[in-house]
Amino acid sequence: MKKIFITGGAGYVGSRLVPKLLSLGYGVTVLDLMIYGEDVLDDHKNLSKIKGDIRDVKKLEQNLPGHNALIHLACISNDPSFELNPTLGKSINLDAFEPLVKLSIKNRINQFIYASSSSVYGIKEEKNVTEDMSLEPLTDYSKFKGDCEKILNKYSSDDFITTTIRPSTVCGYAKRQRLDLVVNILTNHAFHNREIKVFGGDQLRPNVHIEDMVDSYLAVLNAEPNKINNEIFNVGFKNQSVNELAEDVVNIIGEDVKIIKTKSDDNRSYHVSSQKIKDVLNFETKHTIKDAVFDLKNAFEQKLLTNTFNDEFFFNIKRMNSIKLK
């Protein structure tokens, strides 16, 4: 049985990725601070859950042996949460990275997959932003993502297969739900308030359904080493404007939902091409943004998600503010 070690495996994407890996017969170990609850992952005979910090080298040394691959999802996620405590953000998002890579090699893990971000590109004028373009990050969160990519590349070898994934903004339902991401925000307001506010609207925002995000990790995990070693892949659905995203939400939630448009000072557009992962790994997204909205609508209707404006567990910055992590 192939064993996968996942940092941050009890987070938004991890809460969908881990059950899928288990269903496919993998053994999984999750190391996570569990700040969004320990019940995010159901117990399973092939799952080991460790409450811990990726900065804890001793804990890593105790638990890394015996794994074939590592998927590194753990980070202080998104700019606002990072900016709450930049020193903490740097210690987790950057300083802890190289020690983790070195320990992975020491413990004979032969595949390392890193979750970076499509925000590393900054603002590009080109219509198709591809993996070979320069990185011009606008924030420290994005800069450190790019710095970690460079660190990982240094250690790539025939015995240590390294791959970086640059995800678009993830959307859709998960057991560890986030309601602070653009499509999820719009859907929450549309369902409960019957109106959504759009600031600007012409800005492009690349998004990806959470199930496709999960499947992209599986595609890399199962790929031939020569196709993925020291490679970078963008993963996204398509680049839609915020106006188009809002229309998709209304289309699924109900035509009675009002769209209120407001001018915005931030009209930056982000757009990425996911052609490379299609060409190299034959991987294509299968789910639309409307599918993500539909899944969230079902979750709201079935009361799987309640108190969706005030529960801090749905909002990274509220939760980080509350727990005062150091």
Mind listing the pLDDT tens digit for each residue in 185-239?
999 999 999 999 999 999 998 999 999 999 999 999 999 999 999 999 999 998 9
Spatial contact of 32 and 8, defined as CB atoms under 8 Å apart: yes
Would you say residue 197 lies in a domain?
no
Would you say residue 120 lies in a domain?
yes
Spatial contact of 295 and 249, defined as CB atoms under 8 Å apart: no
Specify the amino acid at residue 209.
H
Show the domain range for 69. 3-176+206-241+271-289
Q: Across the strands, what pairs with 196? A: 259
Give the count of alpha carbons within 13 A of 37, CB side only.
14
Whether pLDDT at 78 is above 90: no
Would you say residue 40 lies in a domain?
yes
Would you say residue 233 lies in a domain?
yes
pLDDT band at 117 (very low <50, low <70, confident <90, very high): very high
pLDDT of residue 80: 81
pLDDT of residue 127: 83
pLDDT of residue 81: 86
> pLDDT, tens digit, for every residue of 4-34?
999 999 999 999 999 999 999 999 999 999 9
Q: How far is CA 313 from CA 76, 179, 279, 322, in A?
A: 14, 9, 38, 10
Average pLDDT taken over every residue of the chain: 96
Q: Which helix (H) or strand (E) holds 191?
A: helix 182-193
Long-range CB pairs of 120-128 (<8 Å, 24+ gap) are 120/145, 120/146, 120/149, 120/166, 121/270, 121/272, 123/268, 123/269, 123/270, 124/271, 127/271, 128/271, 128/272, 128/273, 128/275
The DSSP call for residue 91 is: I
pLDDT of residue 266: 75
Q: Could you tell me the end-to-end alpha-carbon distance of the chain, in angstroms, rounded to an integer?
A: 36
pLDDT of residue 229: 98
Specify the amino acid at residue 224.
E
Would you say residue 298 lies in a domain?
no
Whether pLDDT at 123 is above 80: yes
pLDDT band at 142 (very low <50, low <70, confident <90, very high): very high
Whether pLDDT at 84 is above 90: no
As for how many domains the chain has, the answer is 1
Percent with pLDDT over 70 in the chain: 100
pLDDT of residue 52: 97
> pLDDT, tens digit, for every residue of 262-306?
988 877 788 899 999 999 999 999 999 999 999 999 999 999 999
Q: Across the strands, what pairs with 162? A: 112
Residue 263's Cβ-count burial label (10 Å; 0-12, 13-18, 19+) is exposed
pLDDT of residue 241: 94
Would you say residue 181 lies in a domain?
no
- How, if at all, do strands 161-167 and 231-235 pair? parallel
- CATH code at position 168: 3.40.50.720
DSSP one-letter string for 289-326: HHHHHHHHHHHHHTTSS-STTT-GGG-HHHHHHHHT--
Would you say residue 304 lies in a domain?
no
Would you say residue 201 lies in a domain?
no
Whether pLDDT at 82 is above 90: no
Predicted structure pTM score: 0.97
Query: What is the rounded average pLDDT of the residues 238-245?
Result: 94
Whether pLDDT at 243 is above 80: yes
Specify the amino acid at residue 247.
E
Lowest mean pLDDT among 77-91, 148-162, 294-308: 77-91
Rounded Cα distance between 265 and 203, Å, is: 11
pLDDT band at 79 (very low <50, low <70, confident <90, very high): confident
